[in-house]
Every structure is written in C-alpha cells, then in structure tokens.
Chains A and B, each alone.
Chain A
Amino acid sequence: MIKFENITKIYELRSGQNPVVALQDVSFEVKEKEFVSIVGKSGVGKTTLFKLLLVQERPTQGKIFFMNQDVHQIRAKDLFNLRRRIGVVFQNYELFNKKTSYENIAYPMETIGANKDQIKRDVNEILQLVGLTDRAFNFPEELSEGEKQRVAIARALIHRPDVIVADEPTGNLDPANTYGIIKLLYKINEFGTTVILSTHDKGVVNNLEKRVITFEDGKIIRDEERGKFIL
C-alpha cells in the first residue's frame, strides 16, 4: 500500500552551515491493514518520513508510492486526493487556531462534502470517544497540550481514511489517556485501517505486539514483526 524506495532526505541549510542528512537510503513497505510502529531517538527522521509521504517535503533521492502511485509526481492542485486518504496526527497538531475543537474536527468532513447532520453526529461521537465533549467550543489556545493532541487525533480519524499516520500521538497524554488512544487506534486497525505510529513510549510498543521499525541515524536498523522497543 505504501512503499518507500531508497529514500534519502538532506536538508540544505543556509549557507555556511552543514546540510543535515535526515534519512539515508531508507526502503520499506507497509501493507494494507498493517499496524506499524516507528521508533528511534529524537532527530532520527521519523517526522521527516511522514512529511515526505504527505508531500510536505521533497525527497533528495528515491521514490514513495501510495497505492502504486508515485506521490511526488502528483500536481499540487491534485494533492488533496492523496491527503484525504491519509489521516494525519501531526506532532505539532497543526490545528486551525481560529476554529473551535468542533470545527477543527468537522473540517475534513466538510472537505468531502458530508452533510450537516452527518457531521454533527460523527463529530459528537468522536468528541465523546476522545473525552472532549465539554471542550467542543473552545479554541486551541484555550486547550491543554493533551487536549489539543486529542483534537488532532479526532480530526485525523473523523472521515475514516484508509491510512492513519500518527506522529507521537500520545506524547503529551497521561497513562490513562494514552491507553485509551492506543486502544482506539488498535480497534480502528482491526476494522481494516492501516496504522503507522511513531512513538517514544516503550510501554505502548511492547504491549501492542505489532511490527516495529527501528531507526538510527536516518537508517533502518531493525524491522521486526511483533517487535520490541529496543534503543
């Protein structure tokens, strides 16, 4: 379903500074309905990986395929098709500052032309699922980090995309909320959605007993089914 082929990403910095090699010749494939955890130290290139998949960044070398389509060949005005099929929990949330939690979560449904009643029903349901019913009409700046993170998660799931990409989705959550969110992702995966998760949380990875890809210095050093968190 998703295929990274010999991906190298070098960030060219302003003159006088050395370029940063974020990813080096990375290749792997994620099959439909898989649940994959990506682990690795901070700065190892996890977020970069997701940015390349979503065409927020261009690879220095290599190709990325989504459903056999080279995503970097897609024209800017057609990218919405790709992005609608991948629900993303961004590490920095990327919430709309001028929209309430409710409106943030509803937005992806609006883009696909869902009707008002359907939006209302689904948004209220997912607000309950992530425990934010009483924060529905607050703006992001009025929310705690963990609440923002849960809004971001709800927004990624709301329109039932084919793939969920979650970049540190539990980084700011307490154990109880972490458990709730991971259980939610697990369930969604059981219903057939592909999940790619990046995390620092040892407990999460070890309890999942799913595939784990471990990165070090921009390279894959381990890729195991039912893997463990070893750094």
Chain B
Amino acid sequence: MEIFNSISKIIFQGYMGFRRQGSFNIASIFILSLVIFLFTFLFVFYGMAQSLSLNLQERIDISVYFDSDSSEKQVLEAKSELSKFAEVKSVEYVSAEEALNKFTEKYQNNSIIMSSLEEIGGNPLLASLNIQAFEAGQYASISNFLISGSFEDIIYKINYSEKKPVIERFFSLISGVNKAGIIFGIVLILVAISIAFNQIRLAIRNSRKEIKIMRLVGATNFMIRGPFFVQGVLIGIFAVLLTLLIFVPVSYFLSPRLEMALSGFEIFGHFADNFFFIFSSQIAIGVGISTFSSLIAVHKYLKI
C-alpha cells in the first residue's frame, strides 16, 4: 500500500513535470522521433533491398547446352548430380525437342526464321539444363563444377560466361547498395541518438535547481529519479506516436505509387506485416533512449 502510494505519486509528478517542461519536451520528442523514423526507414529499406535482390535473382539463371551426340541419360545424370549441390535451387531439363517446340511456337509467325529452319532440316537446337542458384554469387562455383567435373566432355557450352559480367555486376551492385545504405543509416541513427541524448540532458539541466531542492527537502534519490523516468517514458511514447503519425499515411500514400518501380515491393504491406516487430522496436528505442539519457543526466545532480 505504502509503495503503491508513492509509485502513484511518482507517476503523477512525472506527468505534471512532463506537462510543465513545455518546449524542452517538444524538442526532445521531435529529435527522438527522428531517430525512430530513421530506424523504421532503415528497416523498410532493408526489406525492400532484400525483396529486390530476390526478385532479380529469380530472373537470373545459367543454361548448360550439351553436345548433340550426348544421350538423354547422360544429361539427366548431370541434372541429378547438380541437384545434390547445396547452392542449386532448381534444375530444369529442356530436351532438344522441347527446345524446338518452344522455338517454333515463338517464331511461327516469322516466315524468314521458319523458312531458314526448314532449310537446315532436322533439329539444330541442343538439349540444355537451366540452373537457378539461391544467390547470384553462387553461379561461379556451379559453373566451375561443371567445367572441371566429369561432364566436361559432353558440355557444348555454358552461357554463364556470357552472362557473367551482368551477374557479377548486378551482384556487387545489390550488395554494395545494401551495405552502403545500411551503414549510412546506422551512422545517421548514431548521430541522431547523440543529438537526442544531448537534448534530453539539456532538458534535465534545466531542472537541476529543482533536483537540488528535492534533495534539500529530504527526497530520496528514488523519488527524484522516478518522475524523470516517467517523463522519459512519456517522451519516448509520444515520439513513437509522432513517428507513426507521419510514417503510416506517407507510406500508405506512396506504397501503390512506388510498387511498379520497386518491382512489386509494397512498402506499406511490408510495414503492416512486420508491425508488431517494428512497433515494439520503436517503443524500445524511444523509451530506452529517453529514459537512459534522463537517468544519466539526473545522476549528475544527485551528488550534492
């Protein structure tokens, strides 16, 4: 009862203190919500980069063409060997006949191509395996396996070498952008945290006389810290609310407009899907930074 009594008093004092701090709190809330906003943006950016890279990777594959004198059995053997590879996501066998069917289907209206195909006679196309890896970076080792393995003799050509520059450029671009974005984001967040930390310290410095008087009239350190802790919690919560107030409508508005450019990635959908994680991280960041910096700042004035 006693402790409940004093805790409710501390919460009330914290609330009153929060209301009467005025502009200092507004500044703290704004700066803190900048931190939270950056975090949220970084989270969405990371999701976006992931989705883009997955999406593009799905469009990449390499094709292995086999000599026309190789048997179907040999090719299927190669296929099953490849399937055992941990890096291989899928292997699709396209026989020479299938390739021809697809080809004629595609070009049936093109009389020049169709007539030259007839001129050649027979099936000029080769059987092939279309291989997809999980990540762009894995194609090199798959290709190496094929060249150095026992299938070398029956392989006519691997078009990896043709696509290689594209694959590698794309791979390094994605991971570069991703890394740069995340490092830049983290640096920004650190800068913003230190600004928020300083702002809250300034606000508490503004209360140093009050802290001195509290001590002089017999408050325990717990009773002094308590209201500032409560104030910190309130500032953190308001900062999260402010961030959401801006982020939700903006992302809701932009999401359908950017979906095409981001090859199907929905900003708002991603945000909504991960809302629980985002919201709890935002609360943890907002409340964490503001209470931590409040307590550090108050501590300085508890020594007299």
Residue of chain A at shortest CB distance from B218 = A84
Bound state CA distance, A88 and B218, in angstroms? 11
Q: Are B223 and A111 in contact (CB under 8 A)?
A: yes
Q: For residue A94, which residues in chain B have a CB less than 8 angstroms away from its CB?
A: 212-213, 216
Hey, which chain A residues are within 8 Å of B16, CB to CB?
99, 103
Tell me which of A98, A107, A115 contacts B17 (CB under 8 A): A98
Contact B218–A111 (Cβ < 8 Å)? yes
Interface residues of B in 1-43 (CB under 8 A from A): 2, 5-6, 9, 13, 16-17, 20
Q: Is the CB of B9 within 8 A of A79?
A: no
Q: Which residue of B lies closest to A115 (CB)?
A: B5
- With A79-B215, A115-B5 known as contacts, the answer to whether A97 contacts B209 (CB < 8 A) is yes
Given contacts A98-B17, A98-B20, A115-B5, contact A80 B220 (CB under 8 A): yes
Asked if A56 is an interface residue, CB under 8 A from chain B, the answer is yes
In the complex where A76-B302, A76-B303 touch, is A88 in contact with B216 (Cβ < 8 A)?
A: yes
In the complex, A89 Cα to B143 Cα: how many Å?
88
24 A-B pairs whose Cβ atoms sit less than 8 Å apart in the complex: A56-B304, A76-B303, A77-B220, A77-B221, A79-B215, A80-B218, A83-B216, A83-B218, A88-B216, A90-B216, A94-B212, A94-B216, A95-B213, A96-B213, A98-B20, A103-B16, A107-B214, A107-B217, A110-B9, A110-B223, A111-B219, A111-B220, A112-B218, A115-B5
Given contacts A77-B221, A97-B210, A115-B5, 8 further A-B contacts (CB under 8 A): A76-B302, A81-B218, A84-B217, A94-B212, A96-B214, A98-B210, A111-B219, A113-B2
Q: How far does the alpha carbon of A155 sit from the alpha carbon of B214 in the complex, in Å?
A: 12
Please measure, in the bound complex, the distance between the C-alpha atom of A216 and the C-alpha atom of B112, giving whole angstroms.
122
Nearest Cβ on chain B to A115's Cβ, whole angstroms: 6
User: Please, how many angstroms separate the alpha-carbon atoms of A185 and B218 in the complex?
Assistant: 21
Is A218 part of the contact surface with B, judged by Cβ < 8 Å? Answer: no
Check: A44 CB closer than 8 A to any chain B CB. Answer: no
**A7-57 residues at the B interface, CB under 8 angstroms:** 54, 56
- Do A56 and B302 touch across chains, with their CB atoms under 8 A apart? no
A86: nearest residue on chain B (CB-CB)? Answer: B218
Report A111 CB to chain B, min CB distance, Å: 5
A169 close to chain B: CB less than 8 A: no
Within 8 A of A (CB), among B184-222: 209-210, 212-221
In the docked arrangement, what's the CA distance between A51 and B19, Å? 32
**Pick from A77, A88, A103: contact of B302, CB under 8 Å:** A77
Q: Mark B234-273, 1 if CB is under 8 A from A, else 0.
A: 0000000000000000000000000000000000000000
Taken together as a complex, chains A and B put the C-alpha atoms of A99 and B219 apart, in Å, by: 15
Q: In chain B, what residue has the closest Cβ to A76?
A: B303
A108 within 8 A of B: yes
Shortest beta-carbon distance from A76 to chain B in Å: 5
Q: In whole angstroms, what is the CA distance A147 to B13 when docked?
A: 24
Chain A nearest CB: distance from B289 CB in Å?
Answer: 24
From B9, which residue of chain A is reached at the shortest CB distance?
A110
Bound complex: CA of A111 vs CA of B215, how far in Å?
10
Instruction: Assess whether A76 is in contact with B304, with CB atoms less than 8 Å apart.
Output: yes
Tell me which residues across on chain B come within 8 A of A98, comparing CB atoms.
17, 20, 210
Q: How far is the CB of B177 from chain A (nearest CB, A)?
A: 50
CA A94 – CA B208 in complex, angstroms? Answer: 12
